[in-house]
Amino acid sequence: MNTGIPLQYFLILAAIMFFVGIYGFLTRRNLITILMSVELILNSVNINFLAFNRYLFPHKMEGLFFSLFVIGVAAAEAAVAIAIIINIYRRFATINVEDVNEMKY
């Protein structure tokens, strides 16, 4: 059952992934990269879910299902986001968020 890897390792990995995602989300200007950062954040959360489920409540399934659900939503969100990005590209010929500022002020 216990594989020898402590729970903290999973949590540290997830935290690193989460902040890498946040960092990417805040600093990148390319919409695709921002989308990738969001995926990173979601996946770090998934790792947390699975790790807690496995280590703290091994006889329950909620964490597993939740992460599956997150993956499903993330897939849908990616589809929508990419569609939006394509449309933005058609409209402005760019996917740099700083240039897409028609609604500013």
Partner 1 sequence: MNFNYTLWILAVPFLMFILLGLAGHKLKPGLSGLLGTGGLAVITVLSYITAYLYFFRTGATEGVYTKISAFNYTWLQLTDKLHIDIGVLLDPISVMMLVVITTVSLMVHIYSLGYMKGERGFERFFAFLSLFSFSMLGLVVATNIFQMYIFWELVGISSYILIGFYYEKPSAVRASKKAFIVTRFADLGFLIGILILSFNTRTFDFITLTDPAGPAITQTGGAAFLGLSVITWSMILVYMGGVGKSAMFPFHIWLPDAMEGPTPVSALIHAATMVVAGVYLVARMFPIYFFAAPAALEVVAYIGAFSSLFAAVIACTQTDIKRVLAYSTMSQIGYMMLALGVSGYGGHDGLGFMASMFHLSTHAMFKALLFLCAGAIIHAVHSNFMTDMGGLRRYLPVTHLTFLIACLTIAGIPPMSGFFSKDEILVAAFHHSWFLFGVEYAVAGLTAFYMFRLYFSIFWGNETHYHHTPHEAPATMTIPLIILAAGSAFAGFIPFSRLITSDGVPFETEIEWAVAIPSVLIGLAGIAVAFLMYSRRSGIPDRLAAKFKYAYKWSYNKFYIDEIYLFITRGIIFRYISQPVAWFDRHIVDGTMNSIAAVTQYISFRIRRFQSGQLQKYAFVFVSGAVLLIVLLVYLWNQ
Site residues (CB under 8 A) for partner 1?
22, 25-27, 34, 97-98, 101, 103-105
Q: How far is the CB of 41 from partner 1 (least distance, A)?
A: 10
Which residues, in sequence order, are bridge partners of residue 96? 30
Q: How far is the CB of 4 from partner 1 (least distance, A)?
A: 30
Q: How far is the CB of 81 from partner 1 (least distance, A)?
A: 12
Whose Cβ is closer to partner 1: residue 26's or residue 76's? 26
Is the Cβ–Cβ distance between 23 and 3 less than 8 Å?
no
Q: How many CB atoms lie within 10 A of CB 61?
A: 10
In the chain, where does DSSP find H-type helix? 7-27, 31-56, 62-92
For the CA atoms of 30, 33, 38, 41, the dihedral, rounded to the nearest 10 degrees, stands at -130
Q: How many CB atoms lie within 10 A of CB 39?
A: 17
Q: How far is the CB of 27 from partner 1 (least distance, A)?
A: 8
Whose Cβ is closer to partner 1: residue 30's or residue 61's? 30
Whose Cβ is closer to partner 1: residue 2's or residue 101's? 101
